[in-house]
Chains A and B, each alone.
Chain A
Amino acid sequence: MDSIPLSKYTVSFGLSLALCSVVNALIVVVKEKSPAVQAAMQKMTGHHWVTHSAIVIGLFLLCGWSFALPNGGQGLRITANRLIGIVTAGVLAGGVIIMGFYLIAD
């Protein structure tokens, strides 16, 4: 039996979730290591965490919509197994970077 393809937004926002989980963690490292970055983020909204959240949420929505545009509006095409692997790897990498950073590097 042929497998039924996932909807284009399931693929696009899944990829966006994986990407933004890693970006979220990288922003943590950058802002904790660079007082200038943290100060700039603080200045933008009044609190660095609010700016951080806004950037990640905005990027998630932007990438989710953008990844649905290729192939004449049909979105990126990848298998479900690949998508599950990418989402799991992205979320795990994000979590490990955040916890590892505060455990070891900070």
Chain B
Amino acid sequence: MNEIILMAHVVFGVGCLLAAVWLFVDVLNASEANLLRIRRVSWAAAGFMWVAFVIAGYWYVVSYHADKAIILHGPWPFAHSFFMETKEHLVIMLLLMTTYLPIAAANNLAINRDARRLVLWLTAGIALLALLVEGHGAIIATGVKLGLLAKPH
């Protein structure tokens, strides 16, 4: 069950990342024809992020302490002391950015150039930050793996 929870937060996180990239491209070509789709995808990005946040939060609070001990006794303690510590706080910012996305996308992006620029900045920021925390996740997972490999048999 733990592995499913762990993988689910990655899946929804990647879903949010893909939705942000989709939005960036769609907003570059915003018109009356794709306005509804832009708004729906912006809600989807926020939804994916909220689900990822809740699942990851549950796992972090309930199960992470075991992985943390393995990482800190392994060869990559920085996988916790830097990467996990920063990730757990950067995702709060990412959650706020994705929550703001449907609000910004509710403007008429087909005719409002300023709103379009705002959503482009926002989606680019979300995509970059999501990519960064996904990378952090990979380093944390490697920290656990190396910690387990380093254990005396």
Q: A residues engaging B (CB < 8 A)?
A: 3-4, 6-7, 9-10, 13-14, 17, 20-21, 24-25, 28, 46-47, 49-50, 52-53, 56-57, 60, 79-81, 83-84, 87-88, 91, 94-95, 98-99, 102-103, 106
Contact = CB atoms under 8 A, between A and B. Distances in A.
Contacts of B100: 13-14, 17
Interface stretch (B21-29, B30-38, B109-117): B109-117
Grouping DSSP codes into helix (H, G, I), strand (E, B) and loop, the A interface class, with mixed when no group exceeds half, is: helix
A20 B99 CA distance: 13
A60 B99 contact: yes
Interface in B104-151: 104, 106-108, 111-115, 117-118, 121-122, 125, 129
Interface of B: 57, 60-61, 81-82, 85-86, 88-90, 92-93, 95-97, 99-100, 103-104, 106-108, 111-115, 117-118, 121-122, 125, 129
Contacts of B121: 84, 87-88
Given A49-B57, A57-B96, A102-B86, A95 B112 contact: no
Contacts, number: 98
Nearest to B126: A91
By Cβ-Cβ distance, the 6 closest A-B pairs, closest first, are A80-B114, A4-B112, A47-B61, A102-B85, A17-B100, A13-B103
B86 A80 contact: no
Given A4-B107, A20-B96, A46-B61, 19 more contacts: A4-B111, A6-B112, A7-B103, A10-B115, A13-B100, A14-B104, A17-B97, A17-B100, A21-B93, A49-B61, A53-B92, A57-B96, A80-B115, A80-B118, A84-B121, A87-B118, A87-B121, A98-B89, A102-B81
